[in-house]
């Protein structure tokens, strides 16, 4: 599959992360397409419990993006917190693209 055909929600990390003897080399967020409104509401509730203000319209705060990634990948929040800043921002942009931009 060429880079042009690769799904933008399946991201290869520039800097792999090792957490509890597991190395994460990519973050596959394609399950985001199957997320239900109830699941998204649970993410919003968790975000607010972490101190988020609940207002994520037209923005994707980093803690909210991390919760979305945790929900759809199953990776622990602690592992996702070890992502490089560059990888984290790029993943956040892909979540933004999914929710707010057309394909």
**pLDDT over 80 (residue 4):** no
Higher pLDDT, 58 or 51: 51
Q: Tokens representing 59?
A: 């923005």
Q: Over the chain, what is the mean pLDDT?
A: 90
Q: Is pTM, for the whole model, over 0.85?
A: no
Residue 50 CA to residue 31 CA, distance in Å, equals 23
DSSP letter for 6, please. S
| Element housing 66 (H / E) | helix 62-73
- pLDDT of 101: 84
**pLDDT over 70 (residue 50):** yes
> Contact 92/60 with Cβ under 8 angstroms?
yes
pLDDT band for position 3 (cuts 50, 70, 90):
low
pLDDT band for position 103 (cuts 50, 70, 90):
low
């Amino acid at each position: 599959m060429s880079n042009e055909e690769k799904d933008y929600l399946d991201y290869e990390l520039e800097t792999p992360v090792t957490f509890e003897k597991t190395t994460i080399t990519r973050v596959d967020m394609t399950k985001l397409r199957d997320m239900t409104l109830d699941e998204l509401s649970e993410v919003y509730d968790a975000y607010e419990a972490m101190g988020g203000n609940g207002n994520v319209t037209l923005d994707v705060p980093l803690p909210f993006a991390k919760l979305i990634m945790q929900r759809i990948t199953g990776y622990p929040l602690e592992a996702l917190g070890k992502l490089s800043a560059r990888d984290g921002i790029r993943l956040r942009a892909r979540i933004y693209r999914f929710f707010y931009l057309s394909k």
